[in-house]
Chains A and B, each alone.
Chain A
């Protein structure tokens, strides 16, 4: 069993899982019916990707491991998502900014991952890339609408970008498992995506008449399983059924 590969898969899939979960909380509460439906589509895409990754990770582990035991039965420290995606749904400006920052990163990651030597990961990436291209279009368009909309929306989205900026640097950190996978031609060296990420983000921010934050201090930890205070509550909900009624079929 290749533990590094499994950890590597978690590192990618947990981002989609936790962001999908956050978006799921919004269903039925969107600013318009149309926007509500659109955000749910993104959530569904992300959960679809999660299932592909976890089914693969479960197959690698055999025994009693399933996509659901991976999704629902790990301890908080075992989830390897970045801090960005677990940030709460404070308002629409935060939701869109969080989405936008993640989408730009996600698209760059998948563009590389589709060349992975691991055929399954490459295939998942190829399929997901179409979905994530659309997510990027959706969130970029909304960044522009909010940034160059009214004074109120401009201020709200500028606050969101200022607050969430400190979570961007972590996207480009590599874990020990990442390093092994990179050396084997399976993993993507995300540190190489950093420059392009900030370039693309800045282009949209400029079009959206928003300021790129000038921040030198960043938060990290998610990739090591050290999360923010928000994570425990998110997991408490997500794992509620599995913990309250262990070992049952649903």
Chain B
């Protein structure tokens, strides 16, 4: 028989915040994955909402592609507010 597959666990620590990846665990199905996540990752009131995703369902970018994926953004400094020099008298913009 197959082993229990791996699941990734995402927890919202309180309303208003996003779910964040906090770890993984093994479970036979989604119901058990949720229950296990509750028992493993929220023992100290760490969460108000849990997502579980089968690890195999995640498509990840390849670090070999990092140059073409992420570096082209580095010279687009005009996307950042500090690119625009304005007089000091102009507050709050």
Contacts and interface: CB of A to CB of B under 8 A. Distances in A.
Are any A and B Cβ atoms less than 8 Å apart in their complex? yes
Interface string A22-45: 000000000011110110010000
B50 interface: no
Interface in B22-73: 25-28, 31-32, 35-36, 38-40, 43
A138 B35 contact: yes
A141 B35 CA distance: 10
B39 A141 contact: no
A41 B39 contact: yes
Contacts of A33: 26
B36 A141 contact: no
Interface in A103-126: none
Contacts of A150: 1
Given A32-B4, A32-B26, A34-B27, A137 B40 contact: no
Contacts, number: 28
A145 interface: yes
Nearest to B32: A141
A37 B39 contact: yes
Nearest to A142: B32
A38 B36 CA distance: 7
Contacts of B1: 150
Contacts of B36: 34-35, 37-38
Contacts of A38: 35-36, 39
A38 B38 CA distance: 9
Interface string A126-148: 00000000100110010001000
B25 A141 contact: no
Given A141-B31, A141-B32, A34 B43 contact: no
Contacts of B39: 34, 37-38, 41
18 contacts: A32-B4, A32-B26, A33-B26, A34-B25, A34-B26, A34-B27, A34-B40, A35-B36, A37-B36, A37-B39, A37-B40, A38-B36, A134-B38, A137-B35, A138-B35, A145-B28, A145-B32, A150-B1
